[in-house]
A and B are shown apart, each in its own frame.
Chain A
């Protein structure tokens, strides 16, 4: 079992650009959640997908959007990047009433 996998591991983008991060959930999991972890802080919930729809959303602007595919994998898109979007982006997968498992994260640096 490969667990939760995220790609890429590191990414450098320029302000104003757009970025797409990818996540493959743990085998058997159908729910994917995305979190943003700024340096020195705890993870903050961005949104959650299951059945290919956004089900819950945290306090993030519309520049943050996502998608879930029929195979349960997911993408996080961020438009019009700001310096403040620099963070570790974590994907977590889960299934019904079980705990969430996290991937290793994607480190995004906006310059």
Chain B
């Protein structure tokens, strides 16, 4: 049973526009969420995270939003750049437990 779901396997966005990647979770015990970015033949790289006590966290062009009542989070990238083309994984965990539960990933393609 998949506890973290990324229902869009792929997304294409024009360079300079906003990219929005979505993630849903089913386990209400999760209280810390992370986004990882993965290029081909490389391991996932940490991008940004958010604790359940917040509903928004920003880091430069990247913003993560958390809607606890809907068990939904999203990653916004503004403006999108060609180097953002990668697979993005959403992950969740519980405080005190470093085991990460990942989604299946969304492949983002930025069109020049």
A and B from one complex: no
